[in-house]
Chains A and B, each alone.
Chain A
Amino acid sequence: MSNLPADLKYTKSHEWVRTLPDSTVEIGITDHAQHELGDLVFVEVPDAGRVVKADEPCAVVESVKAASDVYAPIAGEITAGNPKLAAEPEIVNADPYGEGWLMRLKPAPGALTAAALLSAAQYQQVLDAEAH
């Protein structure tokens, strides 16, 4: 049973989305994803100002055994990439929902409601289905 905070939204490709008070969103990878990847050795995050489409690959997480793209769950403009991860990628393993966030994004108008995000319960079903 993975750690799935109920206040977050999720994607089938194992990203999480948190809406911040200023209505921008914070994006990371789930506890399940970091666990599957194993110890991260490198994280590449996008630069502020980059405009991304929904489902566009915009970050890379690399572990000792695999490298994987992270997709933008929502269309919008990147407002920040987590600057700590270049030097300390292991933060994503230690605290995937907190200090290990990858990027912040200002959703394009209407993009947040248009995005097909999952609740914690729905994402749990995705994980259950993958396990079988």
Chain B
Amino acid sequence: MAFIPHTEADVAAMLAAIGVSRIEDLFDEIPPELRARSLSGVPAALNEMEIGRLMSERARADGIALSFLGAGAYEHHIPAAVWAITTRGEFYSAYTPYQAEASQGTLQLIYEFQTMIAGLTGMEVANASMYDGASATAESALMAVRLNRKSKSARILVPMTLHPHYRRVAVATTYNQGLKFEELPYDTHEGVVAAAALAPYDAEDITALIIPQPNFFGCLEDVDALTDWAHARGILVIAVVNPTALALLKPPGEWGARGADIAVGEGQPLGVPLSSGGPYFGFMTTRMEHVRQMPGRIVGRTLDAAGKQGFTLTLQAREQHIRRAKATSNICTNQGLAVTAATIYLSLLGPQGLTRTAAAAHARTRELTAALTRVAGVRLAFPGPCFHEAVLQLDRPVAPILRALASHGILGGLDLGAYHPELGNALLVCATETKTSADIDRYRSALSETLQSVRAA
């Protein structure tokens, strides 16, 4: 199907009808200095064979590294059926289906996705997805400001243990909307928000508290205490969670006495491969009482005129095509294809499969940290429980070590120097179920060898 339906004859007829000779003339009123010129830095076009060859050469140059890198995007085993089904023509559209009469299959899939995400998070309602975890977090802050009408401050408490990119996206997204993000310090020996960090805000007007679980360091926050502290002060709780971890950890809907008010996260671990930062997808959930302030699309189940079950977009009065400037968000679309993969991934694994995946990732990370901390000059930064990531501290700068490991075909983790200089020579490592004991041993011996050679140098 052609997506540009006008033939040259159609275009000529339309131009003739309005008395214009060329499409270019329609833009005459834009001054020349404001017009975009052609892109001088773009090389000449390549044909399919040439571009295919160029791309395979570049992919070969990247190589296939053994990756212990996490920090927000995670390598998990994706059953082959997930993308074989996702890329079937019936599903293969990036676009949200508006027409219920033509899109029942896709709408039902999104409905099932929402049900799965609501079940995983222990929340009452989920939307059809957001762009990614960071944008979902930014939207959740805006949503909290709309919801918490008792708070006039639009101040959001953000722990320094939230992913640094999420913090930056939240600030950038809401910069012109008067939100104020206040950074909560963490205990540099424990890697989690300390109760004492909350004390200065005991009697302040705060709109919402963001709680990451697990946090950026892989550590587990005391979510019950943080949630109850916030609720006792009329502060809304926004949970930022890893969906795989939810198979093992208490879901945000059960945090503290009353549960989180909004729960969001990055959906990539659920069947979406690592891919230069995306496309991934975010998920967003809340309590039913807050649903009208939730942004994004929602698919609902209903009965048609003949009394048969059907699916359709619902609660659209929140959205911009109805509410214009007063919509809950200007994001009124979703990540349909990635969500399709996630729904199939979750269907194939089932609750037990996801629990086994999460438990295996946790066990591999413990095995990894145990192995690496046997190397002289390497210690574990935080002693408390973690999920599938941990911070190591080295006795010398991290960057040269990572470069040396890369020459062994190993991505050794994320150098935290740029994000958390207060932690010294800190390295964030991750192992999921995809790593074997042999992989971990390979990392350990490469690290040991590298530290010895660098020391010798």
Q: State yes or no: do A and B come from one complex.
A: yes
Residues of A within 8 A of B322 (CB): 66-67
Residues of B within 8 A of A42 (CB): 292, 317
Considering the complex, which residues of chain A in the window 4-55 have a beta carbon less than 8 Å from any beta carbon of chain B? 42, 44, 47
* B326 at the binding interface (Cβ < 8 Å): yes
Q: What 0/1 pattern do residues 287 to 325 of B give for CB contact below 8 A with A?
A: 000001000000000000000000000000100001100
User: Within the assembled complex, what's the spacing in Å between the Cα atoms of A60 and B292?
Assistant: 11
* B37 at the binding interface (Cβ < 8 Å): no
* Nearest CB in chain B to that of A46: its residue: B149
User: Within the assembled complex, what's the spacing in Å between the Cα atoms of A47 and B322?
Assistant: 25
User: Within the assembled complex, what's the spacing in Å between the Cα atoms of A42 and B326?
Assistant: 16
Q: What 0/1 pattern do residues 145 to 186 of B give for CB contact below 8 A with A?
A: 000010000000000000000000000000000000000000
Residues of A within 8 A of B149 (CB): 47
Please tell me if the beta carbons of A66 and B317 are within 8 angstroms of each other in the complex.
yes
Residues of A within 8 A of B326 (CB): 57, 69
Count class of interface residues, chain B: under 10
Residues of B within 8 A of A77 (CB): none
User: Within the assembled complex, what's the spacing in Å between the Cα atoms of A66 and B292?
Assistant: 14
User: Within the assembled complex, what's the spacing in Å between the Cα atoms of A47 and B148?
Assistant: 12
Residues of A within 8 A of B323 (CB): 67
Shortest beta-carbon distance, A129 to chain B, in Å?
25
If over half of B's interface residues share one DSSP class (helix, strand or loop), that class is named, otherwise mixed; here it is helix
Number of residue pairs spanning A and B whose beta carbons lie under 8 angstroms apart: 13
User: Within the assembled complex, what's the spacing in Å between the Cα atoms of A67 and B322?
Assistant: 7
Count class of interface residues, chain A: under 10
Shortest beta-carbon distance, A55 to chain B, in Å?
15
User: Within the assembled complex, what's the spacing in Å between the Cα atoms of A47 and B323?
Assistant: 22
Q: What 0/1 pattern do residues 319 to 336 of B give for CB contact below 8 A with A?
A: 000110010000000000
User: Within the assembled complex, what's the spacing in Å between the Cα atoms of A44 and B326?
Assistant: 13
User: Within the assembled complex, what's the spacing in Å between the Cα atoms of A69 and B149?
Assistant: 18
Considering the complex, which residues of chain A in the window 51-102 have a beta carbon less than 8 Å from any beta carbon of chain B? 57, 62, 66-67, 69
Residues of B within 8 A of A44 (CB): 292
Shortest beta-carbon distance, B438 to chain A, in Å?
58
* Nearest CB in chain B to that of A62: its residue: B317
Identify which of A57, A66, A67, A69 gathers the most chain B CB atoms within 10 Å of its CB.
A67
User: Within the assembled complex, what's the spacing in Å between the Cα atoms of A42 and B292?
Assistant: 9
User: Within the assembled complex, what's the spacing in Å between the Cα atoms of A47 and B151?
Assistant: 12
User: Within the assembled complex, what's the spacing in Å between the Cα atoms of A57 and B326?
Assistant: 11
Residues of A within 8 A of B317 (CB): 42, 62, 66-67
User: Within the assembled complex, what's the spacing in Å between the Cα atoms of A47 and B152?
Assistant: 13
* Nearest CB in chain A to that of B327: its residue: A67
Residues of B within 8 A of A69 (CB): 326
Considering the complex, which residues of chain B in the window 35-82 have a beta carbon less than 8 Å from any beta carbon of chain A? none
User: Within the assembled complex, what's the spacing in Å between the Cα atoms of A44 and B317?
Assistant: 13
Shortest beta-carbon distance, A119 to chain B, in Å?
31
Identify which of B149, B317, B322, B323 gathers the most chain A CB atoms within 10 Å of its CB.
B317
User: Within the assembled complex, what's the spacing in Å between the Cα atoms of A44 and B292?
Assistant: 10
Residues of B within 8 A of A67 (CB): 317, 322-323
Residues of A within 8 A of B292 (CB): 42, 44, 62
User: Within the assembled complex, what's the spacing in Å between the Cα atoms of A87 and B149?
Assistant: 18
Identify which of A47, A62, A69 gathers the most chain B CB atoms within 10 Å of its CB.
A62
* Nearest CB in chain A to that of B326: its residue: A69
User: Within the assembled complex, what's the spacing in Å between the Cα atoms of A66 and B318?
Assistant: 10
User: Within the assembled complex, what's the spacing in Å between the Cα atoms of A91 and B292?
Assistant: 19
Residues of B within 8 A of A47 (CB): 149
User: Within the assembled complex, what's the spacing in Å between the Cα atoms of A62 and B316?
Assistant: 10
Shortest beta-carbon distance, B323 to chain A, in Å?
6
Considering the complex, which residues of chain B in the window 319-361 have a beta carbon less than 8 Å from any beta carbon of chain A? 322-323, 326
User: Within the assembled complex, what's the spacing in Å between the Cα atoms of A67 and B317?
Assistant: 6
- A selection of 13 A-B contacts at a CB cut-off of 8 Å is A42-B292, A42-B317, A44-B292, A47-B149, A57-B326, A62-B292, A62-B317, A66-B317, A66-B322, A67-B317, A67-B322, A67-B323, A69-B326
Closest 7 CB pairs of A and B: A67-B317, A62-B317, A67-B323, A47-B149, A67-B322, A42-B292, A66-B322
Q: Which residues of A contact B (CB under 8 A)?
A: 42, 44, 47, 57, 62, 66-67, 69
Contacts A42-B317, A47-B149 given; 11 further ones with Cβ under 8 A? A42-B292, A44-B292, A57-B326, A62-B292, A62-B317, A66-B317, A66-B322, A67-B317, A67-B322, A67-B323, A69-B326
